[in-house]
Amino acid sequence: MSSPHTISSAPGGLLPPDDPWRAAIHNEVHARPSARIHLPALVVFLAVVNEGVGREQECEHLRRLPGQEGLTPDDLAAHFLRLRLPGCTLKWERHTEFTRYSLVQPLPAGAGLGQVTPDLLDHLLLPPGWLAAVPGRTFCAIKLAMVVGDVSAPEQRLAEARDWLGEQPVVASLMGNTAHSMVVTDFRLRDSGFERMLVVVPPETSETRAGRISARLLEVETYRLMALRGLPVAKALSPELAHSEQLLADITADLEQKASSDQTMLDTLVGLAARVEKAIAQHGYRFSATRAYDTLVAQRIAELRERPIPGTQTIGEFMQRRLSPAMATVASTERRLTTLSERVARTSALLRTRVDIATEVQNQQLLEKLTKGQELQLRLQSTVEGLSIAAISYYVVSLLLYAAKALKTAGVPIHPEMAAGALIPVVLWGVWRTTRRIHEKLHAGH
């Protein structure tokens, strides 16, 4: 596979250089080929959550198998590996959230149709304790038996399958447009921790078809359980969502009735928004993954092309009745969380509008006070100016009086007090006029 950081040339120079991801993208459709299963066979399937489990740990565990001592983490780089072991094959697949181990071996003697709850685990072709030591946490384990039989009489095969599974209520269907095979299961966990599935196929079934049937059935159950991982999260969130919705309703009512201060409502609203966004950040991936896995379940069931057996639910009908309500609960919780976030944002906008209006009113009141202050200052200034004109006129008249007295002393026939009194109106007008001109020049300058 080409490195994403290098560009290789096409062989023979017939094409431009390869895009860095060309080989990886092209080979993705071949990444996980179906097994070729020789019938009759037993498929032991285990899926574990690989959170906190590295590829190195899984490689170390695979090295404990017979003849696999030379495995390296590089051998697991493609996320898929099929190992040939003595008498069986083991397939390892690593996905984003889980890792799958599929053991394919011959069906043990005495485990075919007609047997009653045959023992299967005592005949595993694996080292003792190897399966229990797989790194990770088990969330899916299935024993899938594939036997050869006549599916043209499905009622008879179904009766034998009930004995094989243990007389539990079962779901069953014929698969394929031509009803080329039959599957029966009860989706129940045994004391061993495994589920059981039984597939009956005609003798002429090819190994590749048997592999495809096995892969689809195992994927249906794997993706069903992965989809359901969102259900406990949704149930745990439900009380918190109800409390948050009620709290938001109370805030909205207070906002309408002006029953609380803006600061109190703002603090409450900020805390609520933080909790909602935290929940979205924590569980958003789980909810989106649930939708994706649910879609995969529907696709795999459609690929089975089921045909019903009278009196028995098909796998598709079982999933529709049992899985759909759970998926609806998860989807409803996700919508409630998203809607709550949007409602918090709208309430925050309303509160901001209220605060902005209150701030605007305060600013207007402050401006009115400033205007009144300025008017008072102008009045005071006018008063001071009037007093200033009187004072200046007084000093000017005093100077004129002294000048008249000086002229009288010099022999000019003048009466100083009469002359000064006569000049008082002229002096007042002259001082007032000079002050007006100064004001006009100042206003013209601005």
Contact present, 5 and 24 (Cβ < 8 Å): no
Distance separating alpha carbons of residues 318 and 141, to the nearest angstrom: 19
Q: How confident is the model over 157-193, as pLDDT tens digits?
A: 999 898 899 878 899 999 988 888 999 999 999 989 9
Q: How confident is the model over 224-273, as pLDDT tens digits?
A: 999 999 999 999 999 999 999 898 888 888 877 776 677 788 888 888 88
From the number of C-beta atoms within 10 Å of its C-beta (0-12, 13-18, 19+), residue 186 rates as buried
Contact present, 90 and 130 (Cβ < 8 Å): no
Distance separating alpha carbons of residues 428 and 436, to the nearest angstrom: 12
Nearest to 182 by CA among 113, 110, 121: 113
Q: What is the pLDDT along the chain (446 residues), one digit of tens a residue?
A: 344 444 455 555 688 888 888 877 777 776 667 788 999 999 999 999 999 999 999 999 999 999 999 999 999 988 889 999 999 999 999 999 999 999 999 999 888 888 888 888 888 999 999 999 999 999 999 999 999 998 888 899 999 898 899 878 899 999 988 888 999 999 999 989 999 999 999 999 999 999 999 999 999 999 999 999 999 999 999 999 999 989 888 888 887 777 667 778 888 888 888 999 999 999 999 999 999 999 999 999 999 999 999 989 999 999 989 899 999 999 999 999 999 999 888 888 877 777 777 777 777 878 877 877 777 776 666 666 666 777 777 777 788 777 877 877 877 788 877 877 787 888 778 877 787 777 777 666 65
Residue 198's H or E segment, with its range, is strand 195-201
What HEC string does 16-53 produce?
Answer: CCCCCCHHHHHHHHHCCCCCCCCCCEEEEEEEEECCCC
pLDDT at 17: 87
Distance separating alpha carbons of residues 299 and 27, to the nearest angstrom: 22
Residues contacting residue 299 through CB under 8 Å, at least 6 positions apart: none
Q: Which two tokens stand for residue 369?
A: 């006070």
Q: What angle do CA 359, 360, 362 make, to 5 degrees?
A: 65
Residue 90's H or E segment, with its range, is strand 88-94
Annotated domain spans of the chain = 1-30, 33-223, 230-365, 381-438
pLDDT at 11: 58
- List phi, psi (to 5°) of 365: -65, -40
pLDDT at 307: 93
First to last CA, the chain: 79
Nearest to 123 by CA among 44, 194, 35: 44
Distance separating alpha carbons of residues 135 and 141, to the nearest angstrom: 14
Distance separating alpha carbons of residues 134 and 141, to the nearest angstrom: 12
Q: Which two tokens stand for residue 362?
A: 């305060």
The residue ranges of DSSP E strands in 291-350, in sequence order, are: 306-308
Distance separating alpha carbons of residues 329 and 248, to the nearest angstrom: 22
